[in-house]
Amino acid sequence: MNVWIAVVATGLGCYALKLGGLVIPQRVLDDARVRRFTDLVPVALLSALIAVQALADGRALEFDGARVAGLGAAVAALLLRAPFLVVLVIAAGVAAGLRLL
């Protein structure tokens, strides 16, 4: 039952967030501080997601060499301006290859 409470609460929260974006006055959205915040938040959230996926196992931090090497290969592919799908394949290939060894 607790899971359903969390699902409903999350759904209501997402709906409220979307509704909030529609009812906020344009003058608030044009503020320089709000624009800077909306420019930086996605980068911070994606960075946190990548860090958790690369360095966490459950509730503990764990240094897994294969995952970190896959992340490094993905960063290298991104620096070489590879398409996103290629970046994913390279990262997965490196991690899988190291786990196979």
CA nearest 87: which of 96, 97, 98, 76?
76
Q: How confident is the model at residue 29 (pLDDT cuts 50, 70, 90)?
A: confident
The predicted model gives 39-61 an average pLDDT of: 88
CA nearest 88: which of 74, 76, 68, 67?
74
Q: How confident is the model at residue 85 (pLDDT cuts 50, 70, 90)?
A: very high
Higher pLDDT: 21 or 90? It is 90
Report the distance separating Cα 17 and Cα 36, nearest Å. 19
pTM > 0.85: yes or no:
no
Report the distance separating Cα 92 and Cα 83, nearest Å. 14
What's the pLDDT score for residue 63?
Answer: 84
What's the pLDDT score for residue 69?
Answer: 94
- Measure Cα distances from 77 to 46, 52, 83, 90, 99 in Å: 17, 20, 8, 8, 20
- DSSP annotation of 57 reads E
- DSSP annotation of 56 reads E
What's the pLDDT score for residue 74?
Answer: 95
